Amino acid sequence: MKAQNITPMLEMAKDQMEAKDYFGALASHKRAMQIDSSDLEILYRYAQNLSAVNNHSGASRYYYKAYLMGAANKYPLLTYHLAESYRSSGEYRKARRYYGRALQAYRKQRDGYWYQRINQSKASAKWADRNNQKAIGTENLGTNINGSSAEYAGQLVDGMLYYSALIADSVKENSQIEDRDYMSKIYFYDQAKEDEAKLLMLDEQSEKMLKGQHLANPFIFKETLFFSACDTNLNCVILKGQITDKEISNIHKLNKNINYPGSNNTQAALAEIEGVTHLFFSSNRSGGLGGMDIWVAKEASFGFDEALNLGPVINSADDEITPYFSETSQRLYFSSNWHTGFGGFDVFESQLSSHAYEKPTNMGYGINTPSDDYYFSLSEGLAFLTSNRKKDNVEKGSNCCNDIFTLPFEEIVLKDSLLGEEKEVNVVVLNKYLPLQLYFHNDEPNPNSRDSLTKVNYRKLADSYVSRESEYIEQYRNLFIPKKQSLAVEELNTFFEENVREGLSELDEFTPLLLKELEKGSNIEIAVKGFASALSASDYNLTLTKRRIKSIENYFSEVLEGAFQPYLGDNAANGGALSIKAVPYGDLAVQEAIDESNKVAAIYSPSAARQRRIELIAVTNSYESSQINLEKLGQVSFARTVYEIGEITQGELIERFFELSNTGEGALTIYNISSNCDCAAMEYETNIGAGQKQKLWTTIETQSLNGPQSIRFTVVTDSQKNLHELEVRFNVIETQE
């Protein structure tokens, strides 16, 4: 009965999605969800629909629910879409986790598009997490220009702003479009009059020629208007015409060197370089590097010469769009969804030097966001860009559609002050590198010792561990029949690449930044949590984890030619100090379904190896020696800190929340939340105002767990008491085959 009721709704939603009536499709998907919210197809398609209207936070919830219900088997790209939705929501740590999982299916095709796409996105999420603290302010152009629909591609010429807008004549309250054939058109706004924007009209002949097409991407060069005309599938050609009395006339299509047959050619931008007019545009024509590429053609007596691809420095396997060339600085500005960025499309700049373009540089946080940012242009000391970022004090939804934004912009100043290599360092920045997981070989350091101390440096242990990868592969693969050995090898390759080597890489990045903060005279405490596998008794695990924590202290004592020693010895001339604080550890190892009777698996399997680690979970100031007004800090209070669930069946999903109240006088920041099990995740907002509450939602997957469990979370905040332990206890009963 359910299927019969849902099928017409899903068919309607599919038609609406294909017609790009995304809000109409949302209404259809919501009705289907009300009938059956556990149907994998509905969950997946609803998440896709939410992504289409830029509600990435909402999309991540439904992708995640579908993921937990096993939908990745039916929809191979679901895990990638989940990671993308987290990145587009600015949740970079979660994005990295699921990009890593999405990569596993493509590791045998490392030269293929999807491996490279996901790997690049993962690298971008890591970069974004470290570089989103310094925002450049932008200003929404307001309701005279930005309405309830999409406005984009703004260019200011002699006090007149030309732009495109997709405005429906009839829209329901829920943003569902009633018009079936509404089109983008070109508008202009006179800044001096501060009046409403007006439609740029077509002469009668042009009206007939362009009927039923989207008109978009206006660019004025030497009193000539270049623009795109696109069909309903958004395949475009580039045209030019004259503007007279706010009307476009004498329109004709550019030659085939620009409008290459069978391809999408759009977003023209012109500039004069060394006395010759150059036309930059975006196209997916053959001969490109993938997706939309940026091309350039010189003006000739017959129109424009053959277009040239700007090559692999600028173009990638995905999309590069909306070019703009500054004659003043000889820089190309463009947007890409491939180059290292914050999410979606980001704006990049590349210097033209000796007829070659330099490696593109991200324009920084503020100009770029986790949303789509494009159509960058310059005029009269201002920059203009289009974005579907979240908006304040405007009529449309939170991040429904494109708006045009502006900001003061001086190219040389921006280049020198915002795009340099110098990184600001403080406790907030350092915590962006945490939790940092570092791994150990079985019973290392000092095997069979009952001593809680060691003289071994963690770096030496890690280097030795990496050198044993072939030993791990050989031992582990022999546990499987031949046809399953390749999968076992991939599992271990993934562990060494994603866990061991990446942890070392992040430690190498974190170390000099920590030293830089200490050199400012800061008193820093690093909280470290230790774990051990379940092979040994808890009292032995206690001393083993102490040795492991001591090894990271030894690392800091010896690294960078002993630069940390004065801070560890509390005798630095500048008053700075570094201390290592061990937090609850020892017997917290999660009881995974590891065959402990098989000692090879209990040592060499990835599930066992992941238990043998320490985590640097927090970097905090020592408030005792600071001048901070402790009364003005946030203060943490939990309604409860422990759940006792009892027995559950293996594979059952656990969902609970912990309610956090900020009872202090100041705002509260959550730096991070770590867990003792990869099976557990917790959703939270970073900032909590004074007197406000927040629910920290946890989900725990139990497919790989067996027996009594203690899932623990450490919440790290900027309050005086900065580490807070939460726990979920239960007993997993194995399913009977």
279 bridge partner residues: 270, 297
Q: Angle at the Cα of 148 (from 146 to 152), degrees rounded to 5? A: 45
Residue with the bigger pLDDT between 279 and 420: it is: 279
pLDDT in tens, 113-158: 999 999 999 999 999 988 887 677 899 999 889 987 889 999 999 9
Q: Is pLDDT above 60 for 176? A: no
pLDDT in tens, 209-256: 999 999 999 999 999 999 999 998 889 999 999 988 788 999 999 999
Q: What is the mean pLDDT of residues 186-210?
A: 88
CB 479 within 8 A of CB 598: yes
**In this structure, how many other beta carbons lie within 10 angstroms of the beta carbon of residue 152?**
24
**pLDDT at position 162, please?**
96
pLDDT in tens, 306-356: 999 999 999 999 999 999 999 999 999 999 999 999 999 999 999 999 889
What would the 3-class secondary structure string for 326-354 be? ECCCCEEEEEECCCCCCCCCEEEEEEEEC
Q: Say whether pTM exceeds 0.85.
A: no
Q: Is pLDDT above 50 for 290? A: yes
Enter the CATH code of domain 2-131: 1.25.40.10
Between CA 468 and CA 476 the distance in angstroms is 12
Q: Angle at the Cα of 156 (from 388 to 404), degrees rounded to 5? A: 10
Query: Which CATH number is 140-418's, of 2.115.10.20, 3.30.565.10, 3.40.50.2300, 3.30.70.330?
Result: 2.115.10.20
% of residues, the chain, pLDDT over 90: 62
pLDDT in tens, 379-407: 989 999 999 987 643 333 445 689 999 99
**pLDDT at position 400, please?**
62
Same fold, 140-418 and 629-737: no
- In the block, which residue shows the tokens 């562990």? 495
CB 527 within 8 A of CB 616: yes
Superfamily holding 629-737:
Immunoglobulins (2.60.40.10)
What is the average pLDDT score of the chain? 88
The DSSP secondary structure of 172-238, one letter per residue, reads -TTS-B--SS--EEEEEEETTTT---EE-EE-HHHHHHTTT-EEEEEEEETTEEEEEEE-TT--EEE
Between CA 721 and CA 700 the distance in angstroms is 27
The end-to-end CA distance of the chain, in Å, is 31
**pLDDT at position 534, please?**
56
Q: Which of 139-148, 358-367, 676-685 has the highest mean pLDDT?
A: 358-367
**pLDDT at position 7, please?**
86
Sketch the domain layout of the chain as residue ranges.
2-131, 140-418, 423-627, 629-737
Q: Angle at the Cα of 259 (from 253 to 263), degrees rounded to 5? A: 135
Question: What is the pLDDT confidence band of residue 276, given thresholds at 50, 70 and 90?
Answer: very high
**pLDDT at position 589, please?**
44
**Spatial CA neighbour of 537 closest among 439, 450, 440:** 450
Q: Is pLDDT above 50 for 587? A: no
Half-sphere exposure of 53 (CA within 13 A, CB side): 25
Q: What is the mean pLDDT of residues 196-209?
A: 90
% of residues, the chain, pLDDT over 70: 90
pLDDT in tens, 448-488: 999 999 999 999 999 999 999 999 999 999 999 998 998 89
- In the block, which residue shows the tokens 């921006």? 414
Q: What is the mean pLDDT of residues 540-559?
A: 93
pLDDT in tens, 647-657: 999 988 899 99
Q: Is pLDDT above 50 for 417? A: no
Token couple for 227: 């623009």
Pairing of strands 723-733, 642-649: parallel
Q: What is the mean pLDDT of residues 416-444?
A: 78
**pLDDT at position 393, please?**
37
Pairing of strands 613-621, 224-230: unpaired
Between CA 11 and CA 25 the distance in angstroms is 10
DSSP 19: T
Token couple for 18: 């294909």
Q: Is pLDDT above 60 for 3? A: no
**pLDDT at position 280, please?**
98
CB 524 within 8 A of CB 518: yes
Q: Is pLDDT above 50 for 420? A: no
CB 315 within 8 A of CB 287: no
Q: Is pLDDT above 70 for 175? A: no
Pairing of strands 668-675, 687-688: antiparallel
Q: Which secondary-structure segment (H or E) carries 308?
A: strand 308-309
CB 295 within 8 A of CB 283: yes
Token couple for 513: 């930044």
